Structure 1
């Protein structure tokens, strides 16, 4: 497992907590808080695009 620097958990309503992280190789990670040993990984650019799309409301239909 690479050395991942995790941000503090982001928690929505209820118990839906997620953590974002990055490593020195330029990869980005997202994991359910408490399950950081099983993250999804992609490039930082892909994670940035995901966050921008969520902020722009493109995922509101999933809520």
Structure 2
């Protein structure tokens, strides 16, 4: 597995902070900030879809 490059944490008001990451193999990662050893992974397109749905209010209860 390639090394994960993590972005700066994203913190919404009143919610946990999370981080997004990518690797050179085209995988995307999401983890709670400070606990990057425990993450979910999928394709970059799947992560983009999740983020779009969250921003659209379709899945805000997940965060």
TM-score range (shorter-chain normalised) is 0.7 to 0.9
Give 1:17's aligned residue. 17
Q: Return the alpha-carbon distance in structure 2 between the equivalents of residues 43 and 23 of structure 1.
A: 10
Calculate the aligned-residue CA RMSD, in Å.
1.7
2:24 is paired with a residue whose SS is coil
Shift of 1:2: 3.0
Runs of 4 or more above 3 Å deviation: none
Q: TM-score, normalised by structure 1?
A: 0.86
Number of residue pairs matched by the alignment: 62
Shift of 1:56: 1.3
Shift of 1:15: 5.7
Unaligned runs of 5+ in 1: none
